[in-house]
Amino acid sequence: MSQMILVVEDDAIMQKMALKILRSRGFSCDLAQTGREAVAMAGALEPGLILMDLSLPEMNGWEATRALKADPALAHIPVVAITAHAMVGDRETAIAAGCAECLTKPYELEELIALAERYVGRAQPGSKVA
């Protein structure tokens, strides 16, 4: 299983924070800024986990997750929804779209690390940081 994590986020501050947290713990990460880009990159990178913002331009996180889950070559990749809109029903809608679980922004550093470790395992010391 790949330890690569694809972070799908269009907000520059959230991008930097997520990448900094994950890379500081030794995870290899890449970034997609739209749902469409995430679907294309997932096919090329075959990440072990996709952290999917739900509010994205072009193709939102729900649509992107449904597209990933509809592709037999990508359907096995766990997708975790990341949302600032913790509205009633959002978690259920994300799960229905194929997300494994939902993380609400703002999240704590340790929440993100625990989530990454749950899906891709602990990063290896000295592992390549992309």
Tell me whether residue 127 is in a domain: no
CATH no. for residue 70?
A: 3.40.50.2300
pLDDT at 129: 45
Q: What is the pLDDT, as a whole number, of residue 130?
A: 46
Domain that holds residue 12: 5-120
**Can you spell out the DSSP letters for 26-76?**
T--EEEESSHHHHHHHHHHH--SEEEEESS-SSS-HHHHHHHHHHSTTTTT
Residue 36 lies in a domain: yes
Does position 25 have pLDDT exceeding 70, yes or no?
Answer: yes
CB atoms within 10 A of CB 117: 14
Residue 126 lies in a domain: no
pLDDT for 35-67, tens place per residue?
999 999 999 999 999 999 998 988 999 999 999
Phi, psi angles (nearest 5°) of residue 25 = -95, 5
| Average pLDDT for 94-115 | 90
Tell me if 90 is assigned to some domain.
Answer: yes
At residue 29, what are phi and psi to the nearest 5 degrees?
-135, 155
Q: What is the DSSP string of 65-116?
A: HHHHHHSTTTTTS-EEEEES---TTHHHHHHHHT-SEEEESS--HHHHHHHH
Among the listed residues 81, 79, 84, 80, the one whose alpha carbon sits nearest the alpha carbon of residue 106: 84
Is residue 106 in some structural domain? Answer: yes
pLDDT: which is higher, 22 or 89: 22
Q: Which pLDDT score is estimated for 70? A: 97
Tell whether 53 is covered by a domain. yes
Is the pLDDT at 128 greater than 60, yes or no?
no
The answer to the question of residue 68 being in a domain is yes
- Domain total in the chain: 1
Q: Residue 61: name the closest of 73, 53, 72, 69 by CA.
A: 53
